[in-house]
């Protein structure tokens, strides 16, 4: 069960009811043995989102202190963490009013990614304000639900120009047997993607950002999905089978291992 802390204290009903206004943003990460990968990327995401949604600066050192305290209080060396920035004083009737922000930290069990390859259903959709990891997640989960109803494991978004962008809660990489490709279209560019790119650079592996249309998918032989919880292979995108996804998965796991885990 996830335990919630608001501004360093166990969250009460007042804090949780304010969070239901559905205006805010967040980042998710995994903690292992009191350490994380890419903490600076998560800080940057939180700062960017706070500036865009609330026009104020986030006290990043204070957020880190609250995170450490929450993990210590729960004796959680391994955990899934979600840090949400919102404001109990935000008023949708007067959204330009400057208000202080609140920080909701959720501590849950560490994520376990199922080993089996997934099949994903391409669907026409583009997230609103795609570059912000905002809390408006209703369409993401509804599209995942519809994909499951059709016998797939998840949904993959395709924009109005036919370009592959992102999954419901994940990014993806494609593989042609030689080079790794990062599909380019309006999307949330996740911290895991940045870490994987940096790791591939260390390995000297060729990689390329590329606009990929759904109609061009046959040129690729493998695909892997990933987010802060982990990496998993894709067996198929729609009717297109992907026979070399395991090879790409092995490569990206090696790339991610190039980033050290830094103790909080």
Q: What is the DSSP string of 62-80?
A: HHHHHHHHHHHHHT-SSEE
CB neighbours of residue 60 within 10 Å? 16
pLDDT (tens digit per residue) in 182-221: 999 999 999 999 999 999 999 999 999 999 999 999 999 9
In the Cβ-directed half-sphere of 151, how many Cα atoms lie within 13 Å?
4
Structure tokens belonging to residue 81: 């963490």
**For residue 20, is pLDDT > 90?**
no
Selection from 17, 70, 29, 11 nearest residue 228 by Cα:
29
Mean per-residue pLDDT, 242-262: 97
pLDDT (tens digit per residue) in 75-126: 999 999 999 999 999 999 999 999 999 999 999 999 988 878 999 999 999 9
Cβ atoms of 224 and 214 within 8 Å: the answer is: no
Mean per-residue pLDDT, 29-58: 97
**For residue 127, is pLDDT > 90?**
yes
Architecture per CATH, 118-262: Alpha-Beta Barrel (3.20)
**For residue 16, is pLDDT > 90?**
no
What pLDDT was estimated at residue 260? Answer: 96
Mean per-residue pLDDT, 223-252: 97
Chain mean position to CA 121: 19
Mean per-residue pLDDT, 118-137: 96
Mean per-residue pLDDT, 34-49: 97
Global pTM value = 0.95
Strand order across the beta sheet in which 25-31 lies: 9-10, 3-6, 102-108, 79-86, 25-31
Q: How confident is the model at residue 19 (pLDDT cuts 50, 70, 90)?
A: confident
Residue range 3-108 forms a domain whose CATH class is alpha beta
The rounded distance, in Å, linking the Cα atoms of 187 and 122 is 15
| Cβ-based neighbours of 172, under 8 Å, separated by 6 or more | 156, 164, 166, 183, 223, 224, 225, 226, 234
Q: 22: left (phi > 0), else alpha (psi -120 to 50), else beta?
A: left
Dihedral sign computed on CA atoms, order 224, 225, 227, 230: negative
pLDDT (tens digit per residue) in 167-178: 999 999 999 999
Mean per-residue pLDDT, 128-134: 96
What pLDDT was estimated at residue 18? Answer: 81
**For residue 140, is pLDDT > 90?**
yes
What pLDDT was estimated at residue 164? Answer: 98
Query: Among all chains, which residue has been given the structure tokens 């008023």?
Result: 91
DSSP calls for 217-246 = GGG--EEEEEETTEEEEEEEETTEE-TTHH
**For residue 155, is pLDDT > 90?**
yes
What pLDDT was estimated at residue 192? Answer: 97
227-228-231 Cα angle (round to 5): 50
Mean per-residue pLDDT, 31-44: 97
Q: How far is CA 15 from CA 9, 19, 65, 100, 159, in A?
A: 10, 6, 19, 14, 36
Domain boundaries in the chain? 3-108, 118-262
The rounded distance, in Å, linking the Cα atoms of 196 and 222 is 16
């Amino acid at each position: 069960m996830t335990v919630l802390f608001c501004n360093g204290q166990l969250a009460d009903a007042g804090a949780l009811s304010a969070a239901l206004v559905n205006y805010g943003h967040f980042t998710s990460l995994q903690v292992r043995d009191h350490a994380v990968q890419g903490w600076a990327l998560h800080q940057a995401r939180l700062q960017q989102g706070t500036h865009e949604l609330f026009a104020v600066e986030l006290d990043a050192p204070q957020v880190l202190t609250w995170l450490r305290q929450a993990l210590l209080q729960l004796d959680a060396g391994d955990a899934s963490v979600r840090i949400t920035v919102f404001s109990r004083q935000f008023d949708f009737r007067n959204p330009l009013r400057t208000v202080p922000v609140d920080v909701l930290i959720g501590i849950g069990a560490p994520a376990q990614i199922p080993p089996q390859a997934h099949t994903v259903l391409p669907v026409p959709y583009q997230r609103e304000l795609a570059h912000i990891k905002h809390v408006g997640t209703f369409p993401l989960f509804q599209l995942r639900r519809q994909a499951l109803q059709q016998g797939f494991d998840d949904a993959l978004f395709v924009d109005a120009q036919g370009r592959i962008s992102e999954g419901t809660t994940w990014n993806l990489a494609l593989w042609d047997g030689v080079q790794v490709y990062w599909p380019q279209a309006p999307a949330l560019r996740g911290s895991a993607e940045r870490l994987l790119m940096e790791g591939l650079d260390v390995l000297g592996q060729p990689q390329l950002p590329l606009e990929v249309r759904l109609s061009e998918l046959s040129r690729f032989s493998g695909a892997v999905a990933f987010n802060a919880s982990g990496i998993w292979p894709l067996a198929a995108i729609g009717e297109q089978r992907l026979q070399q996804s395991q090879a790409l998965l092995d490569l990206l796991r090696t790339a991610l291992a190039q980033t050290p885990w830094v103790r909080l």
